[in-house]
Structures are given as structure tokens and as C-alpha cells.
């Protein structure tokens, strides 16, 4: 990616980088945990491309408030910012109405610690993650595993999930099943709407599990990488799916933090 401008990097490119380069996600999360997962990886890639040490990130004014100033000549780091936009849609009865949707714009507004000078700065500690708190925040319940097929590691139905007590990678399985619910796969099973293809559902859930497990330093991320490739069957993941995956990982990570409401 050395010849690509950061603003040209797509969601799928960020995900491919995370899958192909073990350690990228954990390093990004430890430095930029209070930003979205996609922006964490984007900022890390930008630092790599420009040979800047990965570290705490803040805007020009935010660093000033912390008693530090951006060094002369430093170029800002760019991130994707969500913006709410409106578009006109035609309803089933033929009438039109305006509907809001979330888009993204790229802005160069941030600098990492290595780009600044000034007062001593101690980064905020990376917060812990609580499964119990996450389940409450996400409105998801854990139920008893009743499947007789011992090869099944876990399953999710509606807003409930169960994990095989003998699961080989219980952390990865937990995040995989949470992902199915958060991504809306279990809701699709109960509706008449068009369903996401099974292989793409599993690839999305595995990719989400990989991002969450590696962010939190939990085992299972490496195994998830292999399953992602297997479910994709040699095909690339759609950009729309990559965006959904980052969004699901964000929800799961934020739900389990002490500050989550």
C-alpha cells in the first residue's frame, strides 16, 4: 500500500490487511482503542507507510489542551468520519420520502504522539472487556448448549447463543456467535427477506471474531484467519461486508467496556 493514498483505501483493503498481517489489529487497538476498528487499522497503516511510530492519536487542538504542540512540518493522519445524509426513496405505495443514511468522509485532522512535543503525556490504559456487561448492552442472552452433535462448537438463534462446553476455541466461538446476532444473520433466518449467502455469513462472523479476539488479546484469531479464507472459497470479500464487519466488531468491543451504557 505504499503507493496508495490513505483516502483511497477501501474497507475491504483494511480488512485484508488485518487478515494477512497478524499483529496489526492488536497493535492498532492498543494505540487507538477509543477510535473505530476501521480507523484504528487505517491509522496504523498510515504510520507504517510514513515510518511514524504508532502511538496515541489526537487532533491539533486536543494535543494543545494536553500541553503538547504539533511539530512544524508534520502532516496530519487521515481518518474516515461518519456523516448523516439524506436521500429520497420511493415507498411501495409509490409515494416518496426522505430517509437518513450514514456516509463517510475522509479528513486529515489527527496527529500521533511522535509528531508532537511538549509536556509529558501518559496514555490512558487500554480498558478491560466484560462478557457479562457486553451481553446486557447488546441484549443477547446465553443459553444451555443442547446440540447432540459434538462437532458443533456453538450456535445462535434470534438473540440467544450457546457454546459447546468442549469447544476447542471458546473465546473465538463466543465472538463468532455474538457476531451472527449483531450482524443480523439470526434475524434474517426468521424473516422472509433475502438472506445473506451462508458462506458470506460465516466469513463475516469469523472476520468479526478475529478482529475482536486479536484486539482483546484472546486466543483464536489465527484459527479464524484460516476459516475466513475457507468460507470465501478464494473470492475477495465485498466492500459492503467489510464495512459491516468493522461495525459489528466495534459494537461488541464497546459493549463490554466499563464505560458502556
- Asked if pLDDT for residue 1 goes beyond 60, the answer is no
**pLDDT, tens only, 131-160:** 999 999 999 999 999 998 989 999 999 999
Reduce the secondary structure of the chain to three states and give it as a string. CCCCCHHHCCHHHHHHHHHHCCCHHHHHHHHHCCCCHHHHHHHHHHHHHCCCCCCCEEEHHHHHHCCEEECCCCCCEEEEEEEEEEEEEECCCCCEEEEEEEEEEEEEEEEEHHHEEECCCCCCCCCCCCHHHHHHHHCCEECCCCCCCCCCCEEEECCEEEECCCCCCHHHHHHHHHHHHHCCHHHHHCCCCCCCCHHHHHHHHHHHHHHHHHHHCCCCHHHHHHHHHHHHCCCCCCHHHHHHHHHHHHHHHHHCCCCCC
Q: Are residues 109 and 215 in the same domain?
A: no
221 located within any domain: yes
**pLDDT, tens only, 34-49:** 999 999 999 999 999 9
* Rounded Cα gap, residues 57 and 118, in angstroms: 15
- Asked if pLDDT for residue 119 goes beyond 80, the answer is yes
* Rounded Cα gap, residues 161 and 259, in angstroms: 24
Domain that holds residue 59: 6-118
**pLDDT, tens only, 77-104:** 999 888 887 777 777 777 777 777 677 7
* Rounded Cα gap, residues 55 and 30, in angstroms: 9
From 118, 142, 175, the end of a domain falls on 118
At residue 5, the pLDDT reads 64
Q: Are residues 169 and 247 in the same domain?
A: yes
213 located within any domain: yes
Please, are residues 33 and 25 in contact by the beta-carbon 8 Å criterion? no
At residue 166, the pLDDT reads 94
Q: Are residues 239 and 136 in the same domain?
A: yes
Q: Are residues 229 and 137 in the same domain?
A: yes
261 located within any domain: no
Q: What angle do CA 62, 83, 49 make, to 5 degrees?
A: 60
Q: Which of 57-66, 158-167, 209-218, 222-231 has the lowest mean pLDDT?
A: 222-231
Q: Are residues 174 and 248 in the same domain?
A: yes
**pLDDT, tens only, 163-206:** 999 999 999 999 999 999 999 999 987 776 678 888 999 999 99
State pTM to two decimals.
Answer: 0.87
Q: Are residues 140 and 95 in the same domain?
A: no
- Mean pLDDT across the stretch 21-26? 92
From 92, 118, 144, the end of a domain falls on 118
61 located within any domain: yes
11 located within any domain: yes
Q: Percent of the chain, pLDDT > 70?
A: 95
Q: Are residues 17 and 98 in the same domain?
A: yes
Please, are residues 251 and 138 in contact by the beta-carbon 8 Å criterion? yes
At residue 210, the pLDDT reads 96
Q: Are residues 150 and 111 in the same domain?
A: no
Task: State how many domains the chain has.
Answer: 2
14 located within any domain: yes
Q: Are residues 80 and 193 in the same domain?
A: no
Amino acid at each position: 500500500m505504499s503507493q496508495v493514498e490513505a483516502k483511497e483505501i477501501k474497507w475491504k483493503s483494511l480488512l485484508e490487511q488485518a487478515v494477512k498481517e497478524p499483529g496489526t489489529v492488536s497493535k492498532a487497538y492498543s494505540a487507538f482503542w477509543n477510535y473505530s476498528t476501521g480507523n484504528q487499522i487505517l491509522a496504523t497503516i498510515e504510520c507504517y507507510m510514513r515510518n511514524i511510530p504508532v502511538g496515541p492519536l489526537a487532533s491539533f487542538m486536543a494535543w494543545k489542551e494536553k500541553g503538547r504542540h504539533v511539530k512544524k512540518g508534520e502532516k496530519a493522519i487521515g481518518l474516515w468520519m461518519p456523516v448523516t445524509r439524506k436521500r429520497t426513496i420511493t415507498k411501495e405505495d409509490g409515494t416518496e420520502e426522505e430517509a437518513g443514511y450514514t456516509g463517510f468522509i475522509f479528513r486529515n485532522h489527527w496527529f500521533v504522539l511522535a509528531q508532537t512535543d511538549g509536556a509529558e503525556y501518559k496514555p490512558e490504559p487500554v480498558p478491560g472487556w466484560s462478557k457479562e456487561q457486553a451481553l446486557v448492552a447488546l441484549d443477547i442472552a446465553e443459553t444451555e448448549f443442547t446440540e447432540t452433535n459434538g462437532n458443533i462448537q456453538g450456535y445462535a438463534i434470534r438473540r440467544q447463543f450457546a457454546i459447546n462446553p468442549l469447544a476447542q476455541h471458546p473465546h473465538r466461538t463466543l465472538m463468532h456467535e455474538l457476531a451472527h446476532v449483531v450482524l443480523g444473520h439470526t434475524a434474517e433466518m426468521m424473516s422472509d427477506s433475502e438472506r445473506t449467502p451462508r458462506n458470506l455469513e460465516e466469513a463475516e462472523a469469523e472476520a468479526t471474531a478475529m478482529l475482536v479476539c486479536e484486539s482483546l488479546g484472546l486466543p483464536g484469531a489465527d484459527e479464524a484467519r484460516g476459516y475466513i479464507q475457507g468460507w470465501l472459497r478464494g473470492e475477495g470479500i465485498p466492500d459492503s461486508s467489510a464495512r459491516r464487519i468493522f461495525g459489528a466488531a466495534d459494537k461488541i468491543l464497546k459493549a463490554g467496556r466499563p464505560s458502556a451504557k
